[in-house]
Amino acid sequence: MKKLIIIAATLILLLSACSTARQKLSPQGNVDYKTANVYYAQKDVDKAEVFYTKVLKDNPDHAIALRRMGDISLHNGEVFVERSVEFNKKANEYYTKALAITETFPELTDEEKLAIRDMKKRKESTWVRIFKAGETELKNGNTKTAMEIFEMVHALDLKRPEPMIQLKNIYLKELKNDTKAEEILLSLLKDDPDKLIYLQEMGAFYYNKENYSEAVKYFERVRLQAPMDLDNIMNISACYYELKDYDKALQATQMAIELNPTNIDLIDNARSIAASMKDNELRITYLKQLIEMRDNESDYLAIVSIYLEREDYAQMIKYAEKWHNWDNTNKYAVQYLILAAQKTKNKSMESKYAAIYKAMP
């Protein structure tokens, strides 16, 4: 069966020409190599594979034969979809070996440099295809198969974090095995203690387990590498808040606000922290900012209540009126205005809002 292989014929000939100068073969090996090249050029990959296999028996480190076997395996992975993982794994292994050998050649030719770049791209594509196959199996509910694929693709490139993160998620979410998930993350960090994604995942793991003192250690390590990461800064703030270290929580939130001063959620977080600190002056600062950015009953209620407690009736009236102007159906706003009028002995204002309140349904 003849199959199409995506490779330039001119490049095949150029690489074939320099092969014998780089790597020796026995007389029979040379015959097999030339025969394989003929079949390969004719796109008869089945016969080409037979003869490249013979070449590799004669010289297991023959770089071009290894590369061609990688190309054939990559092609077979596209044709035989049900065996895609198997063929892409083979292709990855062939490319890995071919690259290791080719890169040791002294005074690389332009064609060899081009071949190296091409093999690296193809090797990467095999890795991605295997990983995506694992994702597909997981999506289809085939957890055991997915785990086997993720373990396989991790072994092909130990530096890539995605497979082990997927395994961690499976143990955590599907198998409910927190111990194994933690074990995976700790092993990843042991091998690469400063890798950003591992630190982030470790922090998230402990945060979700409500172990905030451990979580913040990892988020703080993330901050050393990514000081402007807004999400991480808020993770830090959330941890300190849960630990009731409100000063540090506020410091982190204020830093986040400096990075994104129009973010209502950040300002609301700062208001909440100020409330926990019982710092009414700071609460007022953030409540005023919130009121300028949104209309919200709880903001108005909070600021009016603070001014009532402080007996600052002028400010109480100001914000109660803003509240009433925004929502003239809200009885609480009117009640606060009546109370402020009574406290300030403002009979006309009291009469005005008493009439409004009486007319309310």
- Alpha-carbon distance of 198 to 186, in angstroms, equals 9
Structural domain count, the chain: 2
- Alpha-carbon distance of 106 to 108, in angstroms, equals 6
Tokens of 177: 């095995």
pLDDT over 70 at 19, yes or no: no
Q: Are 198 and 229 in contact (CB under 8 A)?
A: no
Count other Cβ atoms within 10 Å, centred on residue 276.
14
Q: Indicate whether 8 and 155 sit together in one domain.
A: yes
Q: Which of 135, 160, 185 is the last residue of a domain?
A: 160
> For residue 20, is it within any domain?
yes
> For residue 311, is it within any domain?
yes
**pLDDT tens track for 42-70:** 999 999 999 999 999 999 999 999 999 99
> For residue 246, is it within any domain?
no
Question: 113-152: string of b/e by CB count within 10 Å (b at 16+)?
Answer: eebbebbeebbebbbebbbebbeebbeeeeeebbbebbeb
> For residue 208, is it within any domain?
no
Nearest to 164 by CA among 177, 151, 174: 151
Q: Which of 119, 140, 160 is the last residue of a domain?
A: 160
Q: Are 232 and 217 in contact (CB under 8 A)?
A: no
Mean pLDDT rounded to a whole number for the chain: 94
Nearest to 170 by CA among 185, 160, 181, 159: 181
> For residue 240, is it within any domain?
no
> For residue 318, is it within any domain?
yes
> For residue 308, is it within any domain?
yes
> For residue 358, is it within any domain?
yes
CATH number at residue 345: 1.25.40
Count other Cβ atoms within 10 Å, centred on residue 353.
23
Q: What is the pLDDT of residue 100?
A: 97
Tokens of 130: 């295997």
Q: What is the pLDDT of residue 181?
A: 97
Domain limits for position 44: 1-160
Percentages (nearest 5) of helix, strand, coil residues in the chain: 80, 0, 20
pLDDT over 80 at 182, yes or no: yes
pTM exceeds 0.75, yes or no? yes
**DSSP state for residue 174 in the 8-state scheme:** I
pLDDT over 70 at 7, yes or no: no
Q: Which of 160, 192, 215 is the last residue of a domain?
A: 160
Per DSSP, helices labelled H in 42-177 are 45-58, 63-79, 84-102, 110-139, 143-156, 162-169
CATH number at residue 46: 1.25.40.10
Overall average pLDDT of the 19-25 stretch: 70
- Alpha-carbon distance of 213 to 313, in angstroms, equals 43
